[in-house]
Structure 1
Amino acid sequence: MKTKQGLVGTKYSIGVYDRITSDSWKYRNMVLPLLTLPERSVFVISTISSLGFGAYDRYRNKEHQANGDLNSFVEKSAHETAERQRDHYDYWYRILDEKGREKLYRNILLYDAYKFGTDHTEGKATEVANFDNPNPAMKHFFGPVGNKVGHNGHGAYATGDAVYYMGYRMLDKDGAITYTHEMTHDSDQDIYLGGYGRRSGLGPEFFAKGLLQAPDQPSDATITINSILKHKTSDSTEGQRLQVLDPTTRFNDAADLQNYVHNMFDVVYMLEYLEGQSIVKQLDAYQKMTALRKIENKYVKDPADGNDVYATNVVKNLTEDEAKKLTSFDSLIDNNILSAREYKAGTYERNGYFTIKLFAPIFSALSSEKGTPGDLMGRRIAYELLAAKGFKDGMVPYISNQYEEDAKQQGQTINLYGKERGLVTDELVLKKVFDGKYKTWAEFKTAMYQERVDQFGNLKQVTFKDPTKRWPSYGTKTINNVDELQKLMDEAVLQDATGTRWSNYNPEIDSAVHKLKRAIFKAYLAQTNDFRSSIFENKK
């Protein structure tokens, strides 16, 4: 890739001058203002997929003053941001096929908001400047270029060919996470999804937050992939880190990505199975009603295209009769059960900002009997397919319209804005991805749990920080087999079931199960070097 980037005058070049003078660049009037800037007031960041512009004074405040370290602070931050953006698209370059890689060479415009601080500004500048503003960045560059930016109250927004930072700033660390979010909106249909487009009924936010966007923090207890931030074991946050340490060394190709997610799910499925067993064998019906909920689909006519085949997930509390049916682990799958710990009762609207929790099980394999899955189940199953079949052969067919023609040939169609289109159903995806191996999604889910249960005898010993010890104690525990871990889980589940649940309940503080699972996961993450190997012996 580096060789291509040095090809001056081609689409592969990441030289700023090459980019802004190319035939495909929309704002060719940038050349003269950029070349004649009288002072350091504008920074530019170029990667294979984006070209970013911002003002130094976006970062000016009491802490970073014009006559102080403003210039050095901005330039250091710009270099760090350039490296992060580069690393993010190195990640995508490595996991996409050749066709997808070629499409990464493009010019997505990035603009930092026109919000300029002074030496007296507290924190971030918030006042929006217009083209008449005397600020040197506006006077000598943004004004002459004339690209009007619609400022709003969002953190950032994407338009398909551009990304505009609003509340977030391009050069901040959270601006890097924002980059992965907004660039997903500008990349998913034609690039990440193999050119097949989003699966009908799945909104743009489905693909970003909780799916292809990087996690907000290394400590996020969510099923997500860190594709942009390099962490260090010497970081103050290392003790809480649950995400990949360094994506540039962990993911060399798509096989590495599947390896990571599959080995991560070895831990996830194992801990979910043990928790599920503890619940069904120990808790009475009323305790199960507190610990668990169920997930269902409802279908509402889409306000845009008029179809009613896109599922909306609804999480409901259990009745006593429903709780009494939960007598085996398989009954948790068959009755579409999930944890009440982090999934509140209510409607999870389509196109929402949801994440799938690492330590709160979704035992259910609820599929859409009509067409497209809901936002919770869709994200969870997408990652389970990535673990089982990989990105291109598992996740992409499920979240894209890859099988649209197959659906059409089978007579499964919908009308989209006056045009007949194939409707990709969950049933069709299951049949195609697994070549008819599983009759139902529940059968697939049961098999995934069983794959791990069959390996329980090979579980590697692990030593972890004992979550029952109060800070600042650093006591540890060692488990040598699954039976020992099951005993600890039994104790934690009973403790949660018999303890007081406050109105401001927080699993990180109040749940013995959550804390046990976090400690085990963290220990295996470290022991396997970010899941480069399995937690089971004799398994890669």
Structure 2
Amino acid sequence: QSGVPEVHDKSEFTGGVSGESLVEPSKPIFEGGVNGPGTVAESLPDYEGGAVPVDTLKQELPSYSGGVNATEALVQDAKPTLHVEVRKELIPKQTREKIDPDMLVGETRIEQVGQDGEKEIVTSYEEKDGKRISELKETTRILTEAKDQVIIRGSKEKEEIKPEPVLTLSNITGNSMGRSARLSYNLEKADGVSVSKISATIKAKGLEDQTIDLTSDQLEATVDNLKLYTDYTISTRMVFNRGKGEESTLLEDKKLRLELKKLEIKDIKETSLVKVENGKESVIQHLTEVPRNLEDYYLKINSEDHKTSRLAIKSIQTERIDGKEYYKVNAEATDLIQRNDQKTFEEGYSYYLAKSSTASPAVPGVKEYAYQDIQDYDSRHDQAYRNLEKLQPFYNKEWIVNQGNKLDLDHNLAKKQVVSVIAMKGKDFVTDLSVADHIMVHYADQTKDVFAITSQNSGLTAIKEYKIADLDVLYTPDMLVKDRSALAKDLTSILKTVDLQSDGVYRVLDDQTTSLDKKVEAVKNWYLEESFAEVKAQLGTLVDKLLTNLDYQWNDSPASMASLKQKVQAHQSAIMLGLAYLNRYYGIRFADYNLKELMLFKPDFYGQNVDILDRLIELGSRENNLKGDQTHETFARVLAKDTKSEDLHAFLDYNRQLLTTDKDMNDWFVNATKGHVYIAERASKNQEIANRKHRAYDNLNNWLHRNMILPLLNVKKAQMFLISNYNTITFGSADKSGKTIDQMKADIDLVADRQLTYLDFWYRLAADEVKDRMVKSDFNVATPVWEGYRVDGRGWVERYGHTSGMEDYAPIREVFGPAGRYYKDNKLGAYASIYPKINARDAVHFVEIDMMSEYGLSVYTHETTHINDRIVYLGGYKHREGTYVEAYAQGMLQSPAEEGHQGEYGALGLNMAYIRPNDGDQWYNPDPTKLQTRQQIDHYMKGYNEALMLLDYLEGERVLAKNDLALKKAWFSKMTKQMRYQDQDNKLLAPNQWDYVRPLTDEEAKTQLNSVDDLIKHNIITNRHYQGTYRPEELKTAYVNVKMVDAIYGGNTSQGAPGAISFKHNAFRMWGYYGYENGFLGYASNKYKDEALSEGHDTLGDDFIIQKVSKGKYQNLEEWKKAWFDAIIAKAKRGIHSFEIDGQQIDSYEKLQDLFDQAVETDYRNFKYGGSVANYTVALKKKVFQKLLQVTDAFSSELFPKG
């Protein structure tokens, strides 16, 4: 059948491929995807396009070429297919209205929000061969039901509505002292509007809410029991009706915080009512009536840790308390408050005084609470509160607790104890109310913190306030802002009338009976002229600072001001002297800080409550307090109690540790005096004492030198220097030579090095039992060496440093004069001050000789010999009986200088100080540092003496070989014994002797002198420098220099004390033969004195000594010297060191003997022709000795190689 296929309601299928039937479900089900099973959708997918054309849905059916079995051939026609189309449509929402009779006309509200619905439409038909073969069939399904929009519309006619009432919190008046606040509201409302409730709720974090009720008739209320420094929120609610039912409104929250920052006098010790009459104060214990003139009275409040407070009195009234009558004394000051026993405050300050003398003086109604009783007290912050009281001395304790609680518990201000706080401008301490930019906080553990601060308005008229950087706390100087100009002017006028030389000042002197000239001199001895003038020049500023720091003058009190004026008037001289003294001696530097402002105006920096006016008066009221040589004692007497330091050293050391990074006092002292005092310190190079005390401050810090410390620390004009080692301390100035310190530094260092070389040499040489006494800085006092006051261009400067037509001599004005170290010109080169018994006051004084010269160093070795010989150099055995100081220094232990000497260069001696080249032109060991042991020194002395004795022998032998009587008498002298007699210098008698040198007689020359042995036996010496008597115990001939080229053959053996020449000569020879300990100490000291006495001798003689030292081998010095001469010549004949003289090589005794033959012959010829004797021989002796010194490396090698 052809044509349009028939359309059925439902397609039929009668058979499958294999004959099974297939039932089509009502809706198509998708059971698989292309690559596997798919997901079954819960709802039909959305359709977003139109119907798909049928021809696009063509589907190729698989071809079939077989029937049921292999032999059957079946051709099957194409089957019809079902075409399905799906689409969705919107179901629009409907709007419905309802009428509400209670709503006003025009008012609407939505009761139900409408929502559109959705439906699905499915269209299907069959097709075959691309053509529809059935009718269209459409099926509809509701997916989402539509929801109506319901609107409520009012039907009530509109009535007239009155405006809401307006409530405002117009004012909050805080009462910090009462811990309350007054709330004031303003209400605006129309007639007919009612307010049924107004409530204010005060809230704070962590606290219980507090609600107060108000009414429209009562719009003010007080909130009590508020906490200070707490952030409150005030929330206000109003309930009202304006004709449309009850309504309510909330006001915007308001903030409330009570800050109590007032001024409180704390830690009160006592309060007194003071009456001032004619400038004099008296304390009133009782009153019988109210005084008529209150201006004659003031309240004086003493505190434990704060300054004294003074208050003018406003009123006095009677009060009955607990049945007793009191006078209530009232004082007022801006922002000042006082606690009462109700734990509240009252303005001003009140004091209760008993009405009768029998009444109890106890003060009622006033109470001071401990920090534990203060709001928000936290025991963990207890130290912080006490510390902040130092930073904020005037503020009330509540404020301080609040501030303290802000500090971190690990902060120093919360865990350390604060001693004091001082303001600074840069590094300068500020002691007035000028602007500061830092504060220094001083802790009890001797540490400090420095904080930056910025000024801000305190809100209190009497207080200057700063904010501390990085901390939410404040700082206020310990001073009240107040106009003191009138009072300062009056006090300045009083003090300006004081002159240093005046009757008022003379009244300070201990001796009031002395003459005016003596009084003038006594005042001049203070050396305060410059400082006094400085004080006068800046007196206005000083007085202002004095008043600012004096006490707390809270208000204008005529009585207290009158009292103060009277006090200043009565003590004006003492005050000026006290200011001048502190200005003079306490401008001490500690790193970048200077103590002067603290010592003048803020001595409470060290933790003590100090009345600075009383302190000045005490300081300036006693003569000894003002002396420069009493600075250490003055500190102990007057200033120590204000510093918690027992003495000046402790005070300086405390400040060093607090204010500097210097590791010790020595470093600090060098730094503190830098620019004004050059300090050359030398530690010993001997390892065993290298670490012993030697530095300048150590050498000053003792009972003898300590009064030099403050003058040196306050040098302004002088150019001073110190040379300090373990034995001496040298005081000098560049001013003396008209140079600068920079120009002199090299010379100062050279002298310092030479002094050390000398002292170290002696330490190595000295006997073990006493050598440690060289370290005086440890066991005693370093010996002072003073430079003297002969100044280039001035001559010897007088005591007060004045020179007509010239500026005052600064070293005397600033250091030597005030320290009491001036001395007069005695015309000596230098001298040592020594005492009969060893005394630490021993000192070296230079006079005419320049201490810094080449010769000055030699004199240093001379004068220190006077001081050290009895202590160390003589082994502790002291001077040998019958000798005195000059027997040991000049020509013996003094190190000779090449330049400026007084004959000792080329005389017997030992170089212990100078380092010279061993160039063949030296008399002494060229380098003392090469002799590192006593044994090496003794070895040198052996070679030194043997070389001289060799030359003496050759000289004597060659002269005697001429056998000429006249030549003998010209060439030689005889040393004899002159028995002693008593005079002012000598108390010994025979057999004690002196040396007497006289010419030879003809007989002596002819019969006694034929060999060197004869020269020894008869005590012959060369006739070149000596004639007369030589006494070792006096201060004239004892200076004798025994020339090295002068031959002394014998020993002039004494049975008691010797003469001066033989003593020096024999001491050196004994040293060379027997060594320092046995020979030198045995002969030169009193080592054997006790033995001599115990063995029946009346005195100690040379004969006893040589017997002891030689252990009985020799009975006198001549025996010993003869034996030694013989030994020397025997060794020399076996060989000597080779050396060259004038181009001639000398390598044997014989050649050396030939040289002497030639020299003596030349001198002999000159003598015969009337010339001087011995010139060529003396010159030869010098040449040979200096060559021997050179070729033996200063006798470190043997003089006689084959000896």
Instruction: Give the alignment's TM-score, normalised by structure 1.
Output: 0.86
Q: Give the distance between the partners of 1:4 and 1:538, measured in 2 at CA.
A: 37
1:66-465 correspondence runs (5 A): 70-106=740-776, 107-117=782-792, 121=793, 126-133=795-802, 134-160=808-834, 161-217=842-898, 220-232=905-917, 238=919, 240-249=921-930, 251-304=931-984, 306-309=987-990, 310-325=992-1007, 326-340=1009-1023, 342-350=1024-1032, 351=1034, 352-369=1038-1055, 371-413=1056-1098, 423-465=1099-1141
Q: Give the distance between the partners of 1:503 and 1:227, measured in 2 at CA.
A: 41
Q: Give the distance between the partners of 1:176 and 1:457, measured in 2 at CA.
A: 41
- Shift in Å at residue 6 of structure 1? 6.9
Q: Give the distance between the partners of 2:705 and 2:907, measured in 1 at CA.
A: 39
Q: Give the distance between the partners of 1:504 and 1:209, measured in 2 at CA.
A: 31
Provide, for residues 445-467 of structure 1, a one-character-per-residue CA deviation record: whole Å limited to 9, x for no partner.
1111011122123323523332x
Q: 3-state SS of the aligned residue for 1:534? A: coil
Q: 3-state SS of the aligned residue for 1:523? A: helix
Q: Give the distance between the partners of 1:137 and 1:43, measured in 2 at CA.
A: 10
Deviates more, 1:373-382 or 1:240-249: 240-249
- Shift in Å at residue 4 of structure 1? 6.9
Which structure has greater helix proportion? 1
Q: Tell me, yes or no, if the aligned pair for 2:1137 and 2:1188 is still in contact at 8 Å.
A: no
Q: 3-state SS of the aligned residue for 1:241? A: coil
AA aligned to 1:194 is: G
AA aligned to 1:129 is: E
Q: Tell me, yes or no, if the aligned pair for 2:920 and 2:1189 is still in contact at 8 Å.
A: no
Q: 3-state SS of the aligned residue for 1:186? A: helix
1:481-500 correspondence runs (5 A): 481-500=1148-1167
Aligned residue for 1:67? none
- Shift in Å at residue 409 of structure 1? 0.9
- Shift in Å at residue 300 of structure 1? 2.7
Larger Rg: 2
Q: Give the distance between the partners of 1:367 and 1:216, measured in 2 at CA.
A: 31
Q: 3-state SS of the aligned residue for 1:216? A: coil
- Shift in Å at residue 307 of structure 1? 1.8
Provide, for residues 124-159 of structure 1, a one-character-per-residue CA deviation record: whole Å limited to 9, x for no partner.
x52223225332222222222122323210000001
AA aligned to 2:798 is: A
- In structure 2, do the counterparts of structure 1 residues 85 and 347 end up closer, same or farther at CA, with 3 Å as the change threshold? same
Q: 3-state SS of the aligned residue for 1:33? A: helix
Q: 3-state SS of the aligned residue for 2:1150? A: helix
- In structure 2, do the counterparts of structure 1 residues 502 and 355 end up closer, same or farther at CA, with 3 Å as the change threshold? farther
Aligned length: 491
AA aligned to 1:445 is: K
Q: Quick one: which of 701, 707, 724 aligns to 1:46?
A: 724
Provide, for residues 9-63 of structure 1, a one-character-per-residue CA deviation record: whole Å limited to 9, x for no partner.
xxx31121122123xx313121122122225511111011111111221111xxx
Q: 3-state SS of the aligned residue for 1:499? A: helix
Q: Give the distance between the partners of 1:73 and 1:59, measured in 2 at CA.
A: 10
Q: Give the distance between the partners of 2:773 and 2:873, measured in 1 at CA.
A: 10
Q: Structure 2 unaligned runs (5+)? A: 1-683, 777-781, 803-807, 835-841
Q: Give the distance between the partners of 1:503 and 1:17, measured in 2 at CA.
A: 64
Percent identical residues: 27
Aligned residue for 2:645? none
Q: Tell me, yes or no, if the aligned pair for 1:214 and 1:227 is still in contact at 8 Å.
A: yes
Q: Tell me, yes or no, if the aligned pair for 2:1131 and 2:1202 is still in contact at 8 Å.
A: no
AA aligned to 2:1001 is: T
AA aligned to 1:311 is: Q
- In structure 2, do the counterparts of structure 1 residues 447 and 4 end up closer, same or farther at CA, with 3 Å as the change threshold? closer
Q: Tell me, yes or no, if the aligned pair for 1:283 and 1:497 is still in contact at 8 Å.
A: no
Q: Give the distance between the partners of 1:6 and 1:248, measured in 2 at CA.
A: 15
AA aligned to 1:480 is: D
- Shift in Å at residue 363 of structure 1? 1.1
Provide, for residues 87-143 of structure 1, a one-character-per-residue CA deviation record: whole Å limited to 9, x for no partner.
1100001111333221112211111112334xxx3xxx5222322533222222222
Q: Give the distance between the partners of 1:295 and 1:312, measured in 2 at CA.
A: 10
- In structure 2, do the counterparts of structure 1 residues 488 and 503 end up closer, same or farther at CA, with 3 Å as the change threshold? closer
Q: Give the distance between the partners of 2:911 and 2:801, measured in 1 at CA.
A: 41
Q: Quick one: which of 1163, 1170, 1182 aligns to 1:518?
A: 1182
Q: 3-state SS of the aligned residue for 1:154? A: coil
Q: Structure 1 unaligned runs (5+)? A: 65-69, 414-422, 467-475
- Shift in Å at residue 277 of structure 1? 1.7
Provide, for residues 466-524 of structure 1, a one-character-per-residue CA deviation record: whole Å limited to 9, x for no partner.
2xxxxxxxxx111232122212212221221221489995x7xx711112212211211
Q: Give the distance between the partners of 1:116 and 1:356, measured in 2 at CA.
A: 33
AA aligned to 1:17 is: Y
Q: Give the distance between the partners of 1:336 and 1:288, measured in 2 at CA.
A: 14
- Shift in Å at residue 343 of structure 1? 3.1
Matched, 1:19 2:695: no
Deviates more, 1:455-464 or 1:269-278: 455-464
Provide, for residues 393-448 of structure 1, a one-character-per-residue CA deviation record: whole Å limited to 9, x for no partner.
111111111111111212223xxxxxxxxx21111101111110112211101111
Q: Tell me, yes or no, if the aligned pair for 1:59 and 1:74 is still in contact at 8 Å.
A: no
Aligned residue for 1:416? none
Q: Give the distance between the partners of 2:818 and 2:971, measured in 1 at CA.
A: 61
Q: 3-state SS of the aligned residue for 1:455? A: helix
AA aligned to 2:1014 is: S
Q: Give the distance between the partners of 2:934 and 2:821, measured in 1 at CA.
A: 38
Q: Give the distance between the partners of 2:796 and 2:979, measured in 1 at CA.
A: 43
Q: Give the distance between the partners of 2:706 and 2:942, measured in 1 at CA.
A: 46
AA aligned to 1:142 is: F
Which structure has greater strand proportion? 2
Instruction: Give the alignment's TM-score, normalised by structure 2.
Output: 0.40
Q: Tell me, yes or no, if the aligned pair for 1:339 and 1:360 is still in contact at 8 Å.
A: yes
- In structure 2, do the counterparts of structure 1 residues 318 and 116 end up closer, same or farther at CA, with 3 Å as the change threshold? closer
Q: Tell me, yes or no, if the aligned pair for 1:459 and 1:535 is still in contact at 8 Å.
A: no
